[in-house]
């Protein structure tokens, strides 16, 4: 019969280990292979002596702990001690020494796993699945859920902070006539992410007279929109936005320099706006709008017409196609021959 203290200590091991030893969490630091597999030798001690000594030390240490414990226990009020022991004995009727033996894990149950318990075994054991976990589909679901939560957290906590970075909109001045457009795909890779587009109005270009502006429009070709008077250029030749923007800037500079140079002013070349289709918006003429006056005028007109028609109808001068045909038909159609019953042939037979 083991002492109460011993029982208390070992009671935690009483239940069978359901969770496989393989699933026991490993320390974060991986075991690292030492450079040599032989134990390190030390000059002062022989290796076998060392092993013995260490064991002896360990034992004495354990004994000391046990002694300490026994002493602590003896210090506890004997009444209380007896009650606790009795209670423990009542709950767990562990009398025999065998009761304290730890049950071995059933290797078959381990192989089958928790989820496969009671299931018929088919095929070999799943290499990746140890029966201690939910399925990969479940993991996927969980992962998605985690991700959603992460973004929900971002939306709730981080996004409001972006407003601190907002700058108040300021109208572009005459000094900044170029409007650049960059495209961000929010961290994703995209073939058009390096594209830069610039738009500028020809009328906003400083220090240019009409001839130079005309030349600029002619040089811009189909990039010029005659409806809005805006030239739109884009570049995605290079890998980065900066390079593309630089190229655009240089091109615009060259274009403006060329337009300002009136040695050749292209006055003999007509504007070519074939690329631009004017959007025709048909509109009803203003005279057709049904104003109250016009409504009244129309009603008056219709009433007069009706009156005239009524009078003509009474006089018999209103042309009625149906009547004319009815009157004309008897004169046109030849009189129908009178039908005479033929003698009954059957009777004659």
Calpha distance 296→76 (Å, rounded) = 115
Calpha distance 8→16 (Å, rounded) = 17
- Binder among 42, 189, 263, 274 for other proteins (CB under 8 A): 274
By CB under 8 A, the residues from 40 to 69 that bind other proteins are none
- Binder among 270, 282, 337, 343 for other proteins (CB under 8 A): 270
- Binder among 125, 253, 306, 311 for other proteins (CB under 8 A): 306
Q: Which residue stretch of 152-160, 230-238, 280-288, 314-322 sits at the interface with other proteins (rule: CB under 8 A)?
A: 314-322
The 179-182 sheet, strands edge to edge: 179-182, 196-201, 230-235, 224-225
Interaction between residue 318 and other proteins (CB under 8 A): yes
- Dihedral (Cα; 284, 287, 289, 292), 10-degree rounding: -170
Interaction between residue 319 and other proteins (CB under 8 A): yes
Binding mask 212-251 for other proteins (x = CB under 8 A): ----------------------------------------
DSSP assignments along 161-221, one per residue:
HHGGG--------TT---EEEE---TT---TTTT-EEEEEEGGG-SS--HHHHHHHHHHHG
Task: Kindly determine how many residues on this chain lie close enough to bind other proteins according to the rule CB under 8 A.
Answer: 18
Interaction between residue 272 and other proteins (CB under 8 A): yes
Rounded to a whole number of angstroms, the minimum distance from the CB of residue 320 to other proteins is 4
- Binder among 72, 101, 300, 309 for other proteins (CB under 8 A): 309
Rounded to a whole number of angstroms, the minimum distance from the CB of residue 202 to other proteins is 21
Picking from 258, 261, 260, 240, the residue whose alpha carbon sits closest to that of residue 250 is: 258
Interaction between residue 308 and other proteins (CB under 8 A): yes
Q: Which residue stretch of 49-57, 81-89, 115-123, 312-320 sits at the interface with other proteins (rule: CB under 8 A)?
A: 312-320
Calpha distance 222→97 (Å, rounded) = 99
CB of 238 closer than 8 Å to CB of 247: yes
CB of 197 closer than 8 Å to CB of 229: no
Interaction between residue 291 and other proteins (CB under 8 A): no
Q: Residue 234: which H helix or E strand, with range?
A: strand 230-235
- State the DSSP code for 57: H
- Binder among 322, 346, 348, 349 for other proteins (CB under 8 A): 322
Site of interaction with other proteins (CB under 8 A): 270, 272, 274, 302, 305-306, 308-309, 313, 318-322, 324-325, 328, 332
């Amino acid at each position: 019969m083991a002492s109460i203290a011993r029982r208390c200590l070992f009671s935690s091991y009483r239940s069978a280990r359901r969770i496989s030893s393989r699933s026991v969490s490993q320390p974060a630091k991986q075991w690292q292979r030492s450079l040599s597999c032989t134990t390190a030798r030390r000059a002062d001690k022989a290796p076998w002596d060392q092993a013995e000594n260490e064991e002896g030390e360990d034992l004495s240490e354990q004994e000391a702990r046990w002694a300490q414990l026994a002493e602590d226990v003896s210090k506890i009020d004997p009444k209380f001690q007896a009650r606790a022991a009795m209670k423990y004995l009542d709950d767990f009727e562990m009398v025999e020494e065998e009761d304290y033996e730890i049950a071995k894990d059933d290797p078959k149950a381990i192989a089958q796993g928790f989820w496969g318990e009671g299931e018929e075994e088919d095929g070999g054991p799943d290499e990746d699945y140890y029966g201690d976990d939910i399925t990969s589909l479940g993991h996927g679901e969980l992962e998605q859920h985690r991700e959603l939560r992460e973004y929900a957290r971002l939306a709730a906590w981080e996004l409001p902070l972006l407003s601190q970075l907002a700058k108040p909109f300021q109208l572009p001045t005459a000094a900044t006539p170029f409007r650049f457009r960059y495209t961000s795909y929010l961290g994703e890779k995209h073939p058009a992410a390096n594209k830069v587009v610039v738009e500028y109005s020809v009328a906003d270009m400083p220090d240019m007279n009409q001839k130079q502006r005309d030349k600029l429009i002619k040089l811009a070709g189909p990039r010029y929109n005659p409806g809005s008077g805006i030239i739109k250029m884009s570049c995605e030749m290079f890998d980065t936005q900066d390079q593309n923007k630089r190229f655009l800037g240089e091109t615009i500079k060259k274009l403006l320099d060329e337009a300002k140079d009136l040695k050749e002013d292209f006055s003999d070349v007509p504007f070519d706006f074939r690329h631009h289709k004017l959007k025709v918006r048909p509109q009803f003429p203003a005279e057709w709008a049904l104003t109250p006056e016009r409504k009244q005028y129309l009603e008056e007109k219709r009433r007069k017409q009706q009156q005239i028609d009524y009078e003509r109808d009474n006089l018999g001068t209103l042309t009625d196609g149906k009547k004319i045909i009815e009157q004309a038909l008897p004169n046109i159609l030849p009189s129908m021959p009178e039908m005479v019953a033929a003698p009954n042939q059957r009777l004659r037979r």
